[in-house]
Structure 1
């Protein structure tokens, strides 16, 4: 049996806001759709499942994120995940210029939790809250700079 990561799915409060954030960081929208019906109910395990979705891809073609905004049932607000909580944690991106990526994030009102840190001269990285409270890690490989 072979296995490959298909995408990371993230429920968002506002699909357009989330698309704008991730595309400004450099991801491309591969497609959009509205999904519903018995197949969606069965696959997701949620009766009346109806959502708007967008599939985004990183410029290298390897990473994909599926964003979805629920139409029905109504989305349930939860507290944003904290770095030490068990469960889905964060989405992480390599960037070639952390300062430029942080400027883009700031234009969307998304700021680092504490600031950027350097790890042993190898990486400069930070966590920030993206749209809908998504925890996003941005990391610059200093060996390539």
Structure 2
């Protein structure tokens, strides 16, 4: 059986404050590659939500391989929920490889974000941590460790 070609386009995350989320992710090194406000019948149909109206921003990683779409609802009003916990089923987190985890954590701290517990080392392969980003988004940062 021949498989259909498929490519991950982006991961989309609803945020409470689009500008704060953009500031956080661009400080970590992503670049805004587009912004728009979307609404209308096509948006209602695609999303499955009547009256869908949102501000969106598309961000891209420096290597051009990863994209993150952030969106803030204008209508209907966004529904506040409890932040996702690491063991809950469903959309979980967004993860980034970084060259220097300490520098990335300094950047996150400027946005009021800190590790949930601390920075761990996994089998001398990665230093990694989870932190709560803007709008409660779980963000994983991982720095590869060079071996001998």
> TM-score, normalised on structure 1?
0.99
User: How many residues get paired?
Assistant: 145
Q: Which residue of 2 aligns with 1:131?
A: 134
Structure 2 gaps of 5+ residues are none
Superimposed CA distance per residue, residues 72-119 of structure 1 (whole angstroms, 9 cap, x where no aligned partner): 000000000000000000000000000000000000001000010000
Choose which of 89, 92, 96 in structure 1 pairs with 2:95. Answer: 92
Q: Which residue of 1 aligns with 2:146?
A: 143
Distance change (3 Å), C-alpha of 1:43 and 1:144: farther
Structure 1 gaps of 5+ residues are none
Superimposed CA distance per residue, residues 16-41 of structure 1 (whole angstroms, 9 cap, x where no aligned partner): 00000000000000000000000000
Q: Which residue of 2 aligns with 1:12?
A: 15
Indicate the RMSD between aligned Cα atoms, in angstroms: 1.0
Give the Cα–Cα distance (whole angstroms) in 2 for the partners of residues 143 and 41 of structure 1. Answer: 48
